[in-house]
Amino acid sequence: MDAALYGPGGFYVRPGGPGPAGHFRTSVHASALYAGAVARLLRWVDAELGHPQGLDLVDVGAGRGELLAGVLAALEPETAARVRPYAVERAERPAGLDPRIRWVEAPPEGTTGLLFANEWLDNVPLEIAEDGRYVLVAPDGTESPGGPLDDADRAWLARWWPGGGGAEIGRTEIGRARDEAWAAAVASLERGLAVAVDYGHTRDARPPYGTLTGFRAGREVPPVPDGSCDVTAHVALDSCAGPDAVLRTQREALTGLGVSGARPALALASADPVAYVRGLAAAGEAAELTARGGLGDFLWLCQPVGIRAAWPEPAGG
């Protein structure tokens, strides 16, 4: 999986081409409302931090920098002038990117602000196990049984996967590497909020047959690890969570950040037809971002670091 995604000629690091947006649709690509919501979350973090002179915005798994560009555009000039945006990505910096955006391979240490990882952890390579043994895979996707699980992976399954780590549990996806990757990203923050958004599941609802799959050109395909497609698996976000973290659905998170699918009042159609059409379009985009059975079911893991809360309190709360 690591070689297929990040090795020479890997899916995420090959030069040229449309990048991930050419193969699958994320919330970032679905609507500018998403970047606007992240901008509002950044403003809240800024207030929690006391409006520091330098406000870091770290986008982990930044793709081609689309989210950072959208957030910077959504901020008022005074706040945007204090933001230090970092795109964490293993691919080369794309041409024409906003020069304010720093392009780095790993989260910088000692940041103060918001670290945001949209659909990153599902591409952190993980081990697949079946009946207590690792699953090996050839470049053409053919699977074969490997050796028995080591103690650390057995311990992870025993704690986080229903049925424990024994041979009777069938096929499992071992999230220990994701836990470690997320812990390292959170540790790079000195103060602020770390947020991971992803396809996710919790211990009481683990998928019985696993979620490993591939995507290419907008279609789900077999997860052949030859670099021709994305290889991804859903994330056990509850196992990633640290102290004081909260988990919520994207529907809950975006609603709390002011993204609403409510249609504009019909009276606006005659008073200001252009505004009415814009309002209809925004309502449709918001509905997609918060849809049940779709993007709205994504999970947001919110981890505070040195601030009082993991999420803005509701107005009047």
Q: Mean pLDDT, the chain, as a whole number? A: 90
- Condensed to tens digits (0 to 9), the pLDDT of residues 146-195 reads 999 999 999 999 999 987 655 456 899 999 999 999 999 999 999 999 99
Confidence of residue 277 (pLDDT cuts 50, 70, 90): confident
Predicted confidence at residue 263, as pLDDT, reads: 76
Contact 88, 60 (CB under 8 A): yes
Residue 47's SS3 state is helix
Confidence of residue 314 (pLDDT cuts 50, 70, 90): low
Q: Give the span between the Cα atoms of 193 and 182, in whole angstroms.
A: 13
Q: Dihedral through CA 34, CA 45, CA 119, CA 164, nearest 10?
A: -130
Print burial letters for 126-164: b (CB count within 10 Å at least 16), e (below 16).
bbbbbebebbebeeeeeeeeeeebeeebbebbeebbeee
- Which comes out higher in pLDDT, residue 304 or 286? 304
List the single range of 86-90, 200-204, 287-291 with lowest mean pLDDT.
Answer: 287-291
Q: Give the span between the Cα atoms of 8 and 185, in whole angstroms.
A: 24
- Condensed to tens digits (0 to 9), the pLDDT of residues 76-134 reads 999 999 999 999 999 999 999 999 999 999 999 999 999 999 999 999 999 999 988 99
Amino acid at 131: D
* Other C-beta atoms lying within 10 Å of the C-beta of residue 275: 12
- Condensed to tens digits (0 to 9), the pLDDT of residues 220-267 reads 999 999 999 999 999 999 999 999 999 999 999 999 999 987 776 777
Residue 85's SS3 state is strand
- pTM for the complete prediction? 0.92
> What mean pLDDT comes out for the span 278-302?
86
Predicted confidence at residue 248, as pLDDT, reads: 96
List the single range of 64-68, 159-163, 273-277, 283-287 with lowest mean pLDDT.
Answer: 273-277
Contact 23, 215 (CB under 8 A): yes
Predicted confidence at residue 300, as pLDDT, reads: 97
pLDDT above 70 for 283: yes
> What mean pLDDT comes out for the span 272-300?
82
